[in-house]
Structure 1
Amino acid sequence: MSIQTQATRSTPLTEEQLQSYEKNGYIVIPQGCSNDLIDAFNSHIHTIRSNDPIPQWAAPHAGAESKEITEKQRFSLRLFNPHLHDGFSLQVLKLPIVRGALAQILGDEAVGVQSMYFYKDPGTPGQAAHQDYHYIRNNPNTLTAAWVAMEYTNEENGCLYVIPGTHKLGLLPHGKVKNLAEHEAWTEETENIDLSQEIAVILNKGDILIFDSLLIHSSTRNRSERWRRSYVCHYIRHDSTIDREDLKKKISLH
C-alpha cells in the first residue's frame, strides 16, 4: 500500500493574477482555506493555550511558568513558529494552494521558514509600515508571506494596509516607530514614505493574502470588540538561504 503525498503541485493563479502580483506586489486568494479548517485550527490553538501547564514552546513569554501568565496573555500574545512543534500548524503552513501559488510566483518550489499565529485581541496596537525583508534577509531575496485570515478582517479590527507597487523600490531605510498610540514600540518602520498611498486589505475568513517581502505594509490598532486572528507564514524559494540562525530550517511543502 503506497502512502499518499502532495506530489502533484497545483497552479491556482491565473495569468491575470500573476500580472497583478508583478505590478502590485500582492494578491488575494479568496476562500483559499475552508471555514471548517479555519474553525478547527482556531480551536486547536485555543486548546494549546488553555493547557495547564502551557507547553514551553507555546508560552506567551519564553521561559515563563504557567502561574506567571495571565488569562489575557494566554489569548493575546502570538505563538511564534508553532509549525516546529505542532503537526496541525505544520500542515496549515503546507497548504497545497499556497505551495502552488508560491511556485508560480517564484518560478520554482518554495520552502517554509517561519510561522506566527496572531490573536490581536481588542485594543491591541498594530505594526508600523515596514518591509519584511528588513527583518528576514535572504539571498537571493525570494521571501514571500502568506497571511491567512482566521476571521473577517477590516479597518475596525486592525486589518493590513499595503502600498501597491512599493516592492519595486528595493529595501528602504527603517527607523523608530513614531505613532506609538497606533503601533507597537518594539518594531521599526520604513522612513520617508507617503502613508496616504496605503489601502486597506479587507479579508473574509479563509482568504489568503500573498505578498512580496519588499511590499510596504502595516496594520492599525484593533478598535473593535472582535479579535483579528491570523496565521502568517513566510517562505523562500528552495535555493535561497536565510541569514538569521533561528530561521535556517527549511520546511518542504510536499
Structure 2
Amino acid sequence: MEAIKPPPLKPLNENQIDFFRENGYVLLKKCCSDDLVDAFNGHIYDIRDQTPMPDWAACDERKKYAVRLFNPHKHDSFSRQLMKLPIIRGALAQLMGREAVCVQSMYFYKEPGSPGQASHQDYYYIKNDPMTMIAAWTAMEDLVDEENGCLWVMPGTHKLGLLPHGAVKNLEEHESHTEETEGVDTSRQIPVIMEKGDILFFSELLIHSSNKNRSKDRWRRSYVCHYIREDSNVLHREDLRQKYPLY
C-alpha cells in the first residue's frame, strides 16, 4: 500500500508571503533547534575527517574545512533530512503554489579570512523551466553578521529578470572563479543578520552576495539548498537533473 503523503505545513502568514513577493526574500527565525544544528555541523566535519574521505566529499586534505561540500543530500541521509525539514517543505509549497523538490545542496565552512561571493543571481548558474527556484539558506552559527560574512540582498531585484554577469572586479573581497551581475548599482544591498537555525528563503533572481569573513576566530558555516517546483526541470546541468522530494 502506498504511504499517505502528509499535507505540508503552512508556516508563513499572508504578510510574509506578500513580503516575499515584493522583496524576493523572507527570513524565518529559529526553524532548527541549536541541538540539531550542532549535531549536523559535527556530522559534516566527521565526513571529511574519515580516512580516506568518501569520494563524493574528497578534496585536498589541507583544505578539507575550507572547500564547500557539494550536494551532500545525494549521498548522506542526515543532509537529506535537513534538506526536507517540514517547515522548509511547507514554506516552499506556500511560495510556489505546489510541492517543491530539491536539486542542489551546499555546506559552506567559510573560515576566518576566506572571501565571499560577488553579487549574482542563482538563475544564472541553475536555469530551470518554468522559473520557480527558491534557495533556503540556513545559518549554522550563533551569529551571522557583517563581520563574519553574512549574506547581502538587494530587495526587489527579482523583478528585473536575468541580468548580464561578468568577471568579478574586487578580488580582495570575492572569489575569482564566479561571476557577478552587471548593469545595476549593487551598493543598495542590505545585510541579512541571522542567528543559528534561522532560514532565509530567496528567489533565484534576487541579487545577493557575501563579503570576506573579516573576523579573527568566527566561522560562517551555512547549509544552502536549492529547490524547484515539482513540475519544473533544470536545464543544461546534468549534475542537477535529479529531483529529491521533500516528503
TM-score by length of 2: 0.96
Correspondence 1:103 to 2:93: yes
Aligned residues: 244
- How far the C-alpha of 1:74 sits from its partner, in A, is 1.4
SS at match of 2:191: strand
Look up the match of 1:190: 181
- CA shift digits 1:150-183 (9 cap, x unpaired): 0120000000000000000000000000000000
CA–CA distance in 2 between the matches of 1:165 and 1:146? Answer: 18
CA–CA distance in 1 between the matches of 2:49 and 2:5? Answer: 32
1:235 aligns with one of 227, 233, 244: 227
Look up the match of 2:108: 118
- How far the C-alpha of 1:93 sits from its partner, in A, is 0.4
- How far the C-alpha of 1:4 sits from its partner, in A, is 8.3
Unaligned runs of 5+ in 2: none
Look up the match of 1:30: 29
Correspondence 1:11 to 2:10: yes
1:172 aligns with one of 163, 178, 183: 163
Note the aligned Cα RMSD (angstroms): 1.4
Unaligned runs of 5+ in 1: 61-67
- How far the C-alpha of 1:6 sits from its partner, in A, is 6.2
Look up the match of 1:127: 117
CA–CA distance in 1 between the matches of 2:124 and 2:7? Answer: 34
CA–CA distance in 1 between the matches of 2:80 and 2:241? Answer: 16
1:159 aligns with one of 142, 150, 160: 150
Per the alignment, do residues 139 and 222 of structure 1 end up closer, same or farther by CA in structure 2, a change over 3 Å counting? same
- How far the C-alpha of 1:8 sits from its partner, in A, is 2.7
| AA at the equivalent of 1:186 | H
TM-score by length of 1: 0.94
The question of whether the paired residues in 2 share the 8 Å contact of 1:6 and 1:96 is answered with no
| AA at the equivalent of 1:49 | R
CA–CA distance in 1 between the matches of 2:210 and 2:187? Answer: 14
SS at match of 2:144: coil
1:91 aligns with one of 81, 84, 97: 81
- Which portions of structure 1, spanning 4 or more consecutive aligned residues, are displaced by more than 6 angstroms? 2-6
Instruction: Report percent identity of matched pairs.
Output: 61
SS at match of 1:206: coil
